[in-house]
Amino acid sequence: MELPFAEPYRIKVVEPLRKSTRAEREDWIIKAQYNLFNLRSDQVFIDLLTDSGTGAMSHLQWAEIMQGDESYAGSLSYFKLRDTINTLLGMPYFLPTHQGRAAENVLFSAMIKAGDIVPGNAHFDTTKGHIEFRNAVAVDCTIEEAQDTTLIHPFKGNLDLEKLEKVLSTNPKEKIPLCLITVTCNTSGGQPVSMENIREVSALCRRYRIPVFFDAARFAENAYFIKVREKGYEHKSIREIVLEMFSYVDGATMSSKKDAIVNIGGFIAMRDKALFDKASTFNIMFEGYLTYGGLAGRDLGALAQGLMEGTEFEYLEARIGQVAFLGKKLTEYGIPIQQPTGGHAVFVDAKKFLSHIPKEELQAQTLAVELYLEGGVRSVEIGTLLADRDPVTRENRYPALELLRLAIPRRAYTNNHMDYVAACLKNIWDRRDSIRKGYRIVSEAPIMRHFTLALEKA
């Protein structure tokens, strides 16, 4: 008999979860004004809000916490991280930051000015926020295939080279400070970018002398997909693939709360000494001195260790296998999801799930509230609320995809939890026609509104 798959780790510490009744949840969600960010964590049974900073650290990462060197300058934990980034990513310069958006803030302060254009593949919301905050524009050049959730395509995070070339050829070079490739592409469903596409984007940008950067939050998951899906990479190790990916770019911003499996942390990696010097000043102003950048020494050590663990094939196979496990269950139940499943989350196609609810009534958010009420599962809307308003017209932007994201924390939940989540969605799927109304916005912030907005029943 062929031996079944089993996780390459065992559990050393457990954290009890609290179940609740439907009546309790109905009360809590009203008090939260139908915004799941407003819930207390003990009002949630299974928390799939995000895979960011929610993973379980290993015993070796906890050992790093004890060994952390808390010196203000020249911390040994910093040098450990510097050497790891140098070896793994092949990047000579790096700046630690407290998380990914801080890396964006520092790098963009050094690179982006008003009126600039930053092409990329469906920039993440904080990334877009940091671009638009500087009165610059983020142009989405993702391939059209990403918009069709039923289409099986191995690399739905890819950039469309024609779309990109149009941006590069119709704008002055001085207005395009960088091109940003998000690996994997969170917004389009945790979808990977192929090595071929990275190579071609890099070559195209080089012709126009535009630097290319990664938003590298989930670079290791991207490398896993290249290994298992792209011809010529099946025999390469994850670390060889990672090194090749980074060889095509000039630098990266990193949210270490994802693929480095830490609860807090980020960094900027780069090749150019002049850019490093310029960004260093902003880092000192916004984050902290160059050898800690808003983190404790212990965090730097855990991050270095996490980068090594996050780039192990067996770990990635278990991690992405669990996402695929949930995706397969939902597909078996007939629930429409973004196919194929991505690296960190299953994305339910809310537009198809609740096709009878008008888009103005926020289909994905409606489904998020239903899922919470059904079983205490917290998910997140990746749709109209997240897309924000157009900065010029102030009209709502209705994105092509209206998704409900079930983001799976790393090494934290078992497949029994996934079964539970799938059953909750199945129950809602079976009674979907009885959901007659969605929600409307009562109040919202001018930018990145989804975190703090209040809703009411439509």
Closer residue to ligand F0G in complex, CB, 61/127: 127
Place of tokens 């079976």: 430
User: Is 98 annotated as catalytic?
Assistant: no
What would the x/- binding string for ligand F0G be over residues 240 to 259, using CB under 6 A?
A: ---------------x-x--
What CA–CA distance (Å, rounded) separates 270 from 14?
38
User: Is 217 annotated as catalytic?
Assistant: yes
Q: How many residues bind ligand F0G (CB under 6 A)?
A: 16
Helix 415-430 and helix 363-375, axial crossing angle in degrees, nearest 10: 120
> Segment contacting ligand F0G (CB under 6 A): 23-31, 97-105, 130-138, 140-148?
97-105
What would the x/- binding string for ligand F0G be over residues 11 to 50, using CB under 6 A?
A: ---------------------------------------x
User: Is 83 annotated as catalytic?
Assistant: no
User: Is 289 annotated as catalytic?
Assistant: no
Q: Is 222 in the site for ligand F0G (CB under 6 A)?
A: no
Q: Is 186 in the site for ligand F0G (CB under 6 A)?
A: yes
Alpha-carbon dihedral angle through residues 272, 273, 275, 280, given to the nearest 10 degrees: 140
Tell me which of 217, 223, 345, 368 is the catalytic residue: 217
Min dist. Cβ of residue 96 to ligand F0G (A): 13
What CA–CA distance (Å, rounded) separates 252 from 213?
5
Q: Is 214 in the site for ligand F0G (CB under 6 A)?
A: no
Residues 6+ apart with CB under 8 A from 252: 89, 91, 213, 214, 215, 216, 219, 246, 268, 269, 270
User: Is 272 annotated as catalytic?
Assistant: no
Residues 6+ apart with CB under 8 A from 21: none
Evaluated on CA atoms 285, 287, 291, 296, the torsion sign reads: positive
Residue 327 — left, alpha, or beta (φ > 0 → left; ψ -120 to 50 → alpha)?
A: alpha
In this structure, are residues 56 and 69 in contact, taking their beta carbons and an 8 Å threshold?
no
- H or E element in which residue 30 lies: helix 22-31
Residue nearest to ligand F0G (CB): 100
Q: Is 142 in the site for ligand F0G (CB under 6 A)?
A: no
The one-letter amino acid at 51: D
Tell me which of 5, 37, 72, 451 is the catalytic residue: 72
Closer residue to ligand F0G in complex, CB, 109/255: 255
User: Is 125 annotated as catalytic?
Assistant: yes
Closer residue to ligand F0G in complex, CB, 186/363: 186
Min dist. Cβ of residue 207 to ligand F0G (A): 26
In this structure, are residues 212 and 202 in contact, taking their beta carbons and an 8 Å threshold?
yes
Q: Which residues of the shown chain bind ligand F0G in the complex (CB under 6 A)?
A: 50, 52, 99-101, 124, 126-127, 182, 186, 215, 217, 255, 257, 266, 407
Please give the positions annotated as active site: 72, 124-125, 215, 217, 258, 450
